Amino acid sequence: MKENIKIGLIGVIALTLIINTFFMDGGSSSTSSSNNATPQSNIAANPAPNNVINPISTPPANTPIQQPTAPLASETRAKTTIKFAELNHNFGQVKQDSKNTKIFKFTNTGTEPLIIENAKGSCGCTVPKYPKEPIAPGATGEIEVVYSPGKQQGAQNKNVTITANTDPITTTLNISAEVQIVATVH
């Protein structure tokens, strides 16, 4: 089935090239008898519909070429499971410009080494630190999350997304706080 599709696409490309070569060169071809040559096919005269690939067309010069993205390493590794002691933490009332730290403890409850590929906060105010070395089955580890609210005010909810060789590959930790305004002395 795939071979037939490939052969068909190659045929369409070859036909398009032939038609463009003989009929779209402005009449300078030796097969044209006049300068007003009209194409003999609608394929060359009409652009392809949006859902049809035109193998001849090239994107405009300012269009970035999309590179295929490689799968995350966590998607291709042997899967394991992770269990956190808690997934949510409320710091309660905190002051602006303070540093608030929470350690989230976890256990690799699977049969393969746990490899944390990344841990990313939902904003720059939430910074996680995570172990870079594999966590053996049955072993424990910690993810430190530092929340620095800066000039934020009121109720805040932030999260940290952990990417690892688990199923699903992401786990979300949540933190919240009520940020109190610090009065300035004049």
pTM of the model: 0.60
Query: 53 lies in a domain?
Result: no
Do 90 and 167 belong to one domain? yes
> Domain of 38?
2-45
Q: Which CATH number goes with the domain that contains 153?
A: 2.60.40.10
C-beta separation of 147 from 160 below 8 A = no
Do 84 and 172 belong to one domain? yes
Query: 64 lies in a domain?
Result: no
Do 79 and 148 belong to one domain? yes
Do 113 and 158 belong to one domain? yes
Look at residue 22 and give its three-state secondary structure.
helix
Rounded CA-CA distance 166/117 in Å is 11
Do 80 and 14 belong to one domain? no
Query: 150 lies in a domain?
Result: yes
| Residues 6+ positions from 145 with CB-CB distance below 8 Å | 89, 101, 102, 103, 104, 121, 126, 127, 128, 129, 160, 173, 175
Do 24 and 85 belong to one domain? no
pLDDT digit of tens for each residue in the chain (186 aa)?
667 777 777 877 777 767 766 665 444 444 444 444 444 444 444 444 454 454 455 555 665 656 555 556 656 778 999 999 999 999 999 999 999 999 999 999 999 999 999 999 999 999 999 999 999 999 999 999 999 999 999 999 999 999 999 989 999 999 999 999 887 766
Q: Which residues of 62-101 are buried (b: 16+ CB within 10 A; e: fewer)?
A: eeeeeeeeeeeebeebebbbbeeeeeebebeebeeeeebe
Query: 34 lies in a domain?
Result: yes
Do 33 and 103 belong to one domain? no
Do 115 and 153 belong to one domain? yes
Do 170 and 80 belong to one domain? yes
Query: 36 lies in a domain?
Result: yes
Do 85 and 41 belong to one domain? no
Do 135 and 81 belong to one domain? yes
* Domains in the chain, number: 2
